[in-house]
Amino acid sequence: MLVTDLFSKTAKEFPKDEESLNAKFLIKAGFIRKLSSGVYSYLPLGLKVIKKIEQIVREEMNVLPSEELLMPSLITKSIWEKSGRWDVDVVYKINEDGVGEFGLGWTHEEVITDIATHFIFSYEDLPKSVYQIQTKFRREPRAKSGLLRGREFIMKDLYSFHKSEEDLNSYYQKIIDSYSKVFKRLDLDAKVVTAGGGLFTKNTTHEFQVFAESGEDIIFYCSECDFAVNKEIAKNEKGDKCPNCTDGEIEVKNAIEVANVFRQGTKYSEAFGLNFKDSDGVSKPVWHGSYGIGISRIMGTLAEIKNDKNGIIWPDSVSPFKVYLIDLNGESSDKCDKLYKALQENALEVIYDKRNNVSAGEKFANADLLGIPWRAVMSKKTGDKVEIKKRTGDEVKIVDVNEFIQILKG
Tell me the torsion sign for CA atoms 21, 23, 24, 30.
positive
Q: Where are the beta strands (DSSP E) in 267-392?
A: 275-277, 283-285, 287-294, 307-308, 311-312, 323-327, 350-353, 374-378, 386-390
Using DSSP bridges, classify how beta strands 323-327 and 374-378 pair: parallel, antiparallel or unpaired: parallel
Coil, helix or strand for 236? coil
**pLDDT score at 200:** 47
pTM for the whole structure? 0.95
Chunked into runs of 10 residues, the chain (410 residues) has average pLDDT values of 96 93 98 96 98 98 98 97 95 93 97 98 98 96 89 98 98 97 98 76 84 96 95 92 92 97 96 98 98 98 97 98 91 86 97 93 96 96 94 96 94
Using DSSP bridges, classify how beta strands 32-36 and 39-42 pair: parallel, antiparallel or unpaired: antiparallel
Using DSSP bridges, classify how beta strands 386-390 and 396-399 pair: parallel, antiparallel or unpaired: antiparallel
Query: What is the total residue count of the chain?
Result: 410
Q: How far apart are the C-alpha atoms of 2 and 337, rounded to whole Å?
A: 11
**pLDDT score at 381:** 87
